[in-house]
Amino acid sequence: MPEAETLSPISQRINAVMEYFEKGIQRQFALQIGVAPGRVSEIFGERKSKPSAEFLRKVAAAYPQVHTSWLLLGEGEMLKSAESSKNNVVYAAEPTAPRAVTEPRAYAVQDGENRGAVLYNLPTAASYLGNGFSQERAEPDGIITMPNWLLRSGEYAVFPVIGDSMEPTFFAKDYVICRFIQPADWEILRDDTVAVIVTENRGLQLKRLRFRKGEADQGKYVRCISDNRTHDSYNIDLPEVLEVWRFEWRITANAVNVTETLNDRIARLEDGQDDLRRLVESMVDSKELRRLESLRNPMTQD
C-alpha cells in the first residue's frame, strides 16, 4: 500500500477512492477504471507519477458516487449523499429566489504543460427550455486538454451547441470552450460579447449579451441577441441570471462556406435590382411614347 504522505494531494484522493471501493487492490482498481495495472503502479509506486487528465476522467466515470469537485480539487465530501445526487446541478440556487453563484462547479485540471476544460453534457441553444436547467445531468463527460497559453487563469467548461440561433457564427454540434465570469464583472463585459448565460427558466443559452441599467422601475437587465435574426432578442432581469460563461474558443466539424452563401444573397439582390430597373425603364418608355403620340395628334386623349 502506498504511503499517503509521499503522494501528491490528488494522488492521495485517488488512493482514498481505491481504498474505499476496491479495498486498496490496485489490479482491481485498474480493471474497474479501464487502464493497465502498470499505469496505477506508476502513480503509487516509486515513480509517483502525476495522474493525467484522461486518468482522472476514467476514475470519475467509473465511480459516479464520488464528487468530481472533491476528486479534482479536494473540495467538499468524497461521496455524494442520496439527496445531493438527486439535486446535483452546475449552479447553486435557492428554490424561491435564484441567486448568481460566485464559484462555478466546473474545474480546470493541470496535465503537464496542458490545462484541461471539463466537458459537460449540457445543451446550449436559443430555444432550449425543457424542464429547467436543474433537471440536466451535471456530471462531466470528460476533460479536453489544451496548451496553457490557450486556457489562461480561471475556470473553464465546454458545452455542446444545439439549434441554429447563432448561425452562421456557430452551428449545431459545435463545442464552445468558455471561461467563467464572476458576477461582479458581468456589467463590464463589452457589448455583443458571446457567452453561455444560465438562468433558471431558460436553461443555457449561447447569445450575444448587452448588460444594461434600465429605468428606475425596471432595474438592471441583460439583452440576449442571436446572430440568426429569425430568432427574436429578449431581455432577462439581472437577478434571474445564475451564471455567465464567456466564449473563448470553438471546436467545430463544420466547413460551411459563409462567403459563398453571402455571395449568393448579393447575387439575388442584384438580380432583383436589375429586374426593378428594367420595369421602371419600361414604364418610363411607355409614358414617353404616349406623350409623343399626344403631340402628333392633339385630339388624342389619354
Which residue is it, cell 493541470?
A: 110
Strands (E), 214-295: 220-225, 234-237, 241-251
Dist. CA 47–CA 247, nearest whole Å: 39
Domain final residue pick, 36, 69, 87: 87
* Range of 85-94, 206-215, 228-237 with top mean pLDDT: 228-237
Among 73, 61, 64, 18, residue whose Cα is nearest residue 41: 18
Element (H, E) at 236: strand 234-237
pLDDT at 107: 42
Dist. CA 87–CA 90, nearest whole Å: 10
Kindly report whether the global pTM for this prediction surpasses the value 0.75: no
Dist. CA 74–CA 233, nearest whole Å: 41
Based on the fold, state whether residues 223 and 209 are members of the same structural domain: yes
84 or 47: whose pLDDT is higher? 47
Type of residue at 276: L
Based on the fold, state whether residues 214 and 277 are members of the same structural domain: no
Based on the fold, state whether residues 119 and 230 are members of the same structural domain: yes
260 or 78: whose pLDDT is higher? 78
Domain final residue pick, 66, 87, 108: 87
Which residue is it, cell 439583452?
A: 223
Based on the fold, state whether residues 265 and 238 are members of the same structural domain: no
Say if residue 179's pLDDT is above 50. Answer: yes
Number of domains in the chain: 3
Given CA atoms 74, 65, 107, 202 in this order, what sign does their dihedral have? negative
Say if residue 13's pLDDT is above 60. Answer: yes
Give the length of the chain. 302
Cα-flanking dihedrals φ and ψ of residue 196, to 5°?
A: -90, 120
3-state secondary structure of 42: helix
Based on C-alpha coordinates, what's the Rg of the chain? 29
pLDDT at 121: 54
pLDDT at 253: 85
Give the mean pLDDT of the chain: 75
pLDDT at 157: 82
Write out pLDDT tens, residues 148-172: 777 766 778 888 888 889 998 999 8
For residue 27, give Cα distances in angstroms to 33, 37, 41, 57, 172. Answer: 10, 5, 9, 18, 42
Q: Domain span at residue 272? A: 257-302
Based on the fold, state whether residues 187 and 277 are members of the same structural domain: no
Based on the fold, state whether residues 8 and 126 are members of the same structural domain: no
